[in-house]
Structure 1
């Protein structure tokens, strides 16, 4: 059974059901939906990753699984736009990323500010900046990915309860009872992937996950220089903030979001819409004006979503400390979607085989105890 069928939960449901395991997914909404962390059309997928070689290995396996999902679903889910990571070399060093990415055979280019502006004249960079370009990175169509997991899971025999809120979880010897606002369900194993709603399951699950309101905006560019067939996904930042974004896909506009900051959110509170605070648009527009000035045109659309931060911004993927037949997957901290394909595989491995299949010790919940 899976409590929470967003990106991680739906991926796990797909993996379990296609292996022939009886699977029930429960979600408070009707995924894919706009109430969690997976909506907004697109997410970046990168392979040269901060945090260590284990992240790179996970990203490479996730990429393989996204391609398999494309083949199985017949849907276009991944675009190889490349991703351009811009950084102030006076404040940041990417040497460790270069080293372990080279060791793992991940293609990338290290570029000076002048080289970036020669290749992509629409970028404005101070001379102190450098860049790492990943030609095989790109973007995922996030809503379509969740829909593909759902479609294939149901075809493989999984059951999905939508608009059903989990109120509490009660393990008893070899089974687990999951109570909802529509009834009680029992299973031998349960995956809890509750996203921003983990706090509603206390005291059974106590994880240091902080839910944060985040915004993204789509802006009308002045030229077609930012179109997806000629401009990559991007990240940039300095001491004032970190940003990520996407080229204009099908005329939708340049999409940009801010990784740091945000306002705390708690389950049950209203999530203020885009534009409720002046900084919603102002921060994004300021960043575009600084780095991609030709993209800072009219605001075409704004959206809000949620990050679920852990204190160190690394994931939690682990067994419940008191109940090994309850698995926990949460705290994906605004950079987890690209990994959802492999997280589903890890969780299914643990339930079916009794092992994760990769070393994920760094994601242990015990590091916060």
Structure 2
């Protein structure tokens, strides 16, 4: 019996990457179905918590920088199409103890790719932002054109645009399994089967639910962020930038206080393992939830180490090298896979969606996605390079 596909493309997982892909496909006239176990934007994945950094200066070759620059253009277009403010150019201060990290490689790559960056010593950091308590060992790379995205707004904007261009969205529809045949894909959901000519799997921290059909070498971990009261306006939006902070205590990232919400800070490294079906323990379940964040604030930003105003929990889905996975299924060319975004992928979701749409409609992307192939994990693992601030959100 021949099964006729009902859709050109079925997208499994309609979070930041999937929703963006749905928009880019639908606007090209591709009959697209988006399926999500929840109702995006939601709090069960990796895109909630108000804000995400957008930066353009990455190391490890030009692929990330070119993607970041294109992502920025696409976020601006989404703002214009929806009339919704998505991006704030607060600047991003990337500061680190020189004993644990050097910005030399990133500065050189950024300059080669036309990204505006400034190298600052500790004295200049303290002059510009006196509320920072950094020793002379610190140095920084400041990106004046960087900033932050309003993450839930971004997902909602792409949902609005995808539906306006004719995409369909099924929410509260968990996917049980995916099967493929020559020329088609069947997605088995809680509410029945749907058929498509192609599929995009962008299930985030929930990829394990799609095994054994696809196995990605990713591990999901529980992550926390907190918003803290400050004792001055020095940490307010408009005065203070987004930031990353490389310290002896670990790698951290954060945002200014937006509308009095408090300075937001999270830790990029560490995290408790999580897998689908596990309970995601709320903020405060572990003493380290607030303790790790407060310890760093008290040492480096004492004026922002006030009362905890709010805490939140989300998930990272780490690949072994913290680089993305954007590729075709190893056995099925008509199934695309996008995952392993490792806590720094959100800023790229606008362009990842475009890349996936290009792979569907053109068979290729104009951007270099070779570093994100699944086949790289067939090679022997490389030794741990230590703290890599380019991987911080």
Report the TM-score, using the length of structure 2 for normalisation. 0.93
Superposed CA offset, 1:289-338 (max 9, x none): 11111001000000000000001000000000100000000000000000
Matches within 5 A, 1:254-273: 254-273=263-282
Is 1:30 the counterpart of 2:47 in the alignment?
no
- Cα separation, 2, equivalents of 1:17 and 1:71: 18
Is 1:202 the counterpart of 2:203 in the alignment?
no
- Where do 4+ consecutive residues of structure 1 move more than 6 Å? none
User: Which secondary structure state, in structure 2, belongs to the residue aligned with residue 323 of structure 1?
Assistant: coil
Superposed CA offset, 1:73-126 (max 9, x none): 100000000000001123322111111111111111100101010111011101
C-alpha contact 1:10 1:146 (8 A) present in aligned 2: yes
C-alpha displacement of 1:286? 0.6
User: Which secondary structure state, in structure 2, belongs to the residue aligned with residue 312 of structure 1?
Assistant: coil
State the partner residue of 1:69. 78
C-alpha displacement of 1:243? 0.2
Is 1:132 the counterpart of 2:152 in the alignment?
no
Matches within 5 A, 1:177-196: 177-196=186-205
> How many residues end up aligned between the 2 structures?
369
State the partner residue of 2:182. 173
Is 1:105 the counterpart of 2:90 in the alignment?
no
- Cα separation, 1, equivalents of 2:292 and 2:140: 22
State the partner residue of 1:82. 91
C-alpha contact 1:258 1:284 (8 A) present in aligned 2: yes
**Of 148-157 and 230-239, the range deviating more from structure 2:** 230-239
State the partner residue of 1:6. 15
Unaligned runs of 5+ in 1: none
Unaligned runs of 5+ in 2: 1-9, 379-393
C-alpha displacement of 1:367? 1.1
Report the TM-score, using the length of structure 1 for normalisation. 0.99
- Which of 283, 289, 297 aligns to 1:280? It is 289
- Cα separation, 2, equivalents of 1:217 and 1:240: 17
C-alpha displacement of 1:225? 0.5
**Of 87-96 and 336-345, the range deviating more from structure 2:** 87-96
C-alpha contact 1:52 1:97 (8 A) present in aligned 2: no
Superposed CA offset, 1:320-360 (max 9, x none): 01000000000000000000000000000000111122111
- Cα separation, 2, equivalents of 1:254 and 1:326: 41
Matches within 5 A, 1:254-333: 254-333=263-342
